A and B are shown apart, each in its own frame.
Chain A
């Protein structure tokens, strides 16, 4: 699904490489956390996967496309199969929730009929069907991020790339978003998520790739941020589920 082989990347003007000889293989249906301290290279990896940046050397394969040599029209086609979400939501302030999600389909030429069914569907999935005619400024941060996720998902991508999607959210809201991403992953979408939030990583028990100074220092299947006693994991997960359910009840 996604494969990086010996990928290196140094930004223009950068002294040390942002990524140094990184290799990574992500299978269909995986849920992968990218963790590491600030500046370690998490966003750079995601930007390479969505072909916002080019690699200096090495091989980047995403959904069967070789990103080192791909025409710009193929990049556009590839991005239609990738959903992306960022920390700052990136919604259009002058468009409603519905229009924000529909915009992603309109600009790739989807038909009105498709938009009329796909947008309400995905808004129902993220639990915002009631608020489809609200503007972003009338929504909480968590709701705005759910709109952004809806927009990323509305064209049914194979992969969802999320760069610190909970970075601007409080813990309870973060849990909501993580539950949503988990559900999306269970329905078959591959999810790659960069995060700082160790409690989330510990709780979710997914594959963790740790980056440090542009190198992968750990790649652990179903592990927490740090090795922690399994008893503790259980308590954390149960409490989070409790929180998330109580949040959902309030709506």
Chain B
């Protein structure tokens, strides 16, 4: 059978079934958007993991005059205590795990603070002597921060040892929970899209049973009889897939790039390129499901 005729038959099917086809498009659109968002969340988790694996440091904060008594009973860290911390970092027990470290005095800490929060904001009420001096340590393996916490926490003049990544635990937990939820919703929605497609294809076949009967009797091949119906589901799902690509691009552009990335500067975010990278998967999943469900349902109908 010629392609033109197959497309014509497919179009006739879509027209006679337009409300069902529209509902396939919508359900495919919503479900694939959930798939897309879930994939973006996972991409974001991966991005943050690798960003912080490279950039995360462990800070050994030294006592200031303003440090709480419990952590710093002797007040501000003395030069001797600083030297002891430095000696510990250089010691045979610790140095094999340390990639590099740098000392940051109160003036440098103040500069960094101003750079991060601006000179007009909180920085007006903060003076350099309120900020901690610190050793910033880059570990060879960022997962071994416990080791530093253990060996430095008790040391004199040390207020706190903190892995920067601990600030992110909550964010990771949130992102993973959101991914899980997105995946769950996506799975349910995809299932309903599949059921909707097979019902629609069956209705379409019933409404054209006379054509199908004639095609069978005059010896049209099984493939050419089934193809218009399969294409009908595929076209609807592909349109839904395209819409979901548009939706994920819009989410990345207007929510992530224009809003999150400008207001939260602590990490890099997924971008348009990530959204474009998942686009083929969204369309592919949509088309794959449509082929599968419509092929199964039309085959079952034609056998009966």
Contact = CB atoms under 8 A, between A and B. Distances in A.
Whether chain B is bound by chain A comes out as yes
Interface residues of B, number: 17
Nearest to B4: A106
Contact of A106 (B5, B210, B217): B5
A92 B222 contact: no
B222 to A, nearest CB: 6
A80 interface: yes
Nearest to B213: A90
A76 to B, nearest CB: 5
Contacts of B214: 90, 92, 103-104, 107, 151
B215 A107 contact: yes
Nearest to B222: A72
Nearest to B2: A109
B213 A76 contact: no
Interface string A82-108: 101000001010000000000110111
Interface in B1-45: 1-2, 5
A122 to B, nearest CB: 13
Contacts of A92: 210-211, 214
Contacts of A75: 219
A108 B220 contact: yes
A80 B219 contact: yes
A73 B5 contact: no
A76 B5 contact: no
A106 B2 contact: yes
B224 interface: yes
B86 interface: no
B216 interface: yes
A217 to B, nearest CB: 29
B217 A76 contact: no
B224 A84 contact: no
A72 B224 CA distance: 13
B70 interface: no
Contact of A109 (B1, B216, B225): B1
A77 B211 CA distance: 18
B218 interface: yes
A78 B220 CA distance: 10
B224 to A, nearest CB: 7
A48 to B, nearest CB: 14
Nearest to B223: A73
Contacts of A80: 218-219
A5 to B, nearest CB: 25
B221 interface: yes
A198 interface: no
Nearest to B208: A92
B210 to A, nearest CB: 6
B221 A76 contact: yes
A84 B217 contact: yes
A189 interface: no
B211 A73 contact: no
Interface string A62-82: 000000000011011111111
A79 B222 contact: no
B15 to A, nearest CB: 11
B5 A107 contact: yes
A101 B104 CA distance: 90
Given A90-B213, A90-B214, A92-B214, A77 B219 contact: yes
Given A73-B222, A107-B224, A50 B1 contact: no
A237 B21 CA distance: 58
A90 B222 CA distance: 20
Contacts of A78: 219
A155 interface: yes
Contacts of B219: 75-82, 108, 155
A152 to B, nearest CB: 8
A20 B52 CA distance: 81
Contacts of B224: 107, 109
Interface in A134-153: 151
Interface of B: 1-2, 5, 210-211, 213-222, 224-225
Interface of A: 50, 72-73, 75-82, 84, 90, 92, 103-104, 106-109, 151, 155
Given A76-B221, A108-B1, 14 more contacts: A72-B222, A73-B221, A76-B222, A77-B219, A79-B216, A90-B213, A92-B210, A92-B211, A106-B5, A107-B1, A107-B5, A107-B214, A107-B218, A107-B220
